[in-house]
Amino acid sequence: MRVAALALLCATTTAGQAEEGLFPVRVNPRLELESADPAAIEARIRGPLWPSMPDDGGFDLYRLVPLSPDGPIESFDERIIDVKVANDCIELRALSDAGYEGRFRNDWEVQRGLLNQCYAFRLIQNARAAETSYVQDFMMNAAAVDVLPVMVNNGALFDRLCDEYIANHNAVPWSAFDKIVEIKSRNEFDMIVLTEHRDSSDAQGEYRSVGGGYVGVEILAWADFNADGIEDLLISSYSRPLTWYPDDADYFVHRDSLDVIYLITRDSPGSVLRVIDAEQYLTDEWLDGVPCPRPNSTP
């Protein structure tokens, strides 16, 4: 299947230069899609979560009794109400919405990543060929941070989200917002970026903490996702954030990781990319009920 997906990528890359000027939907081979045809994507959604490993079965999910703040500490096994297996995207979404979750931290991360991948399938299924592209040759490499929007760095502390949102509006690239410590490009679709940023200073002008961590940014697909005729990038960003304190280099906090889907685009060659519909990420959960100031004009 991977061979078929690679063939799809190569074929559509060539077709993207066709005389009619259309840029057909392209997908990352990792998604294991036989083609970008809606029927093939529907088959993938309703098929095994891991098509290349069909004998591995589905994904075990558990429904638990909520922890009582005043009661005794109970083991995971003591809290289990029910166990079910998600065999495809449809079952995974339904069980997750019903409160079922993975057993261990790694399982939670796998569950969240699979849910986002299934969501990406639906976005690709509803996408269309683009008439114009400014991202056709975009790759994840060391130069990408100079044009990627900083909002894809979801490993940052939530209190930076408003600043990131405004930076997205003002076309400020990731590399101008954070200190880029290291970039590991795993292939043309996928890279891992180690970043560092400083928290706001205290009354004496000293920085209270330094944050950052590892952020993986991966291109899942190229297509016109918002029906404006321009090719966009479907991006998955997954973070492993850390916060540490300069006065005690051995002390750090590992925040919960995130796995988020973004649509990004640009309207001219070489310009800074921007997150489409960036307001959807300004949720009360992330902003702790404190709204962001909105820019007065649209980009």
Residues 101 and 21 occupy one common structural domain = yes
- Residues 201, 246: one domain? yes
Asked whether 246 and 257 are in contact (CB, 8 A), the reply is: no
Q: What is the mean pLDDT of the chain?
A: 83
End position of a domain, from candidates 125, 154, 176:
125
Q: Is residue 255 pLDDT above 80, yes or no?
A: no
Q: Which residue range(s) make up the domain with 230?
A: 144-287
Strands (E), the chain: 26-27, 59-64, 80-86, 179-185, 190-198, 210-223, 232-245, 248-254, 259-265, 274-275
Give the pLDDT score at 281: 86
| Per-residue pLDDT tens digits for 19-49 | 346 899 999 999 999 999 999 999 999 999 9
Q: Are residues 155 and 100 in the same domain?
A: no
Say which residue, 132 or 290, is predicted with more confidence. Answer: 132
Average pLDDT of the residues in 238-262? 68
The answer to whether residues 66 and 164 belong to one domain is no
User: In the structure, what pLDDT confidence band is assigned to residue 10 with cuts at 50, 70 and 90?
Assistant: very low
Query: Is the domain of 116 the same as that of 33?
Result: yes
The more confident residue out of 199 and 92 is 92
Residue 48 lies in a domain: yes
**Within-domain flag for 297:** no
Q: Note whether 243 and 110 are same-domain residues.
A: no
Return the number of other C-beta atoms located less than 10 Å from residue 247's C-beta. 9
pTM: 0.83
State whether residue 130 is helix, strand or coil: strand
Q: Are residues 71 and 194 in the same domain?
A: no
Find the length of the chain.
299
| Calpha distance 253→263 (Å, rounded) | 30
Instruction: Out of 63, 96, 125, pick the residue that ends a domain.
Output: 125
- Residue 44 in any domain: the answer is yes
- pLDDT mean over 258-287: 89
Could you give the number of structural domains in the chain? 2
5 pLDDT band, cuts 50/70/90, is very low
Mark whether 112 and 190 lie in a shared domain: no
pLDDT at 247 over 60: no
pLDDT of residue 282: 83
Per the domain annotation, does 293 fall within a domain? no
95 and 173 assigned to the same domain: no
Q: What digits encode the pLDDT tens for the residues 172-224?
A: 999 998 889 999 999 999 999 998 876 655 555 565 566 778 899 999 999 99
What is the average per-residue pLDDT within 57-80? 85
> What whole-number distance in Å separates Cα of residue 168 and Cα of residue 265?
11
Is 97 domain-assigned? yes
Q: State which of 125, 153, 171 marks the end of a domain.
A: 125
| 94 and 173 co-located in one domain | no
Q: Is residue 26 part of a domain?
A: yes
**Model pLDDT, residue 52:** 87
Flag whether 66 is in a domain: yes
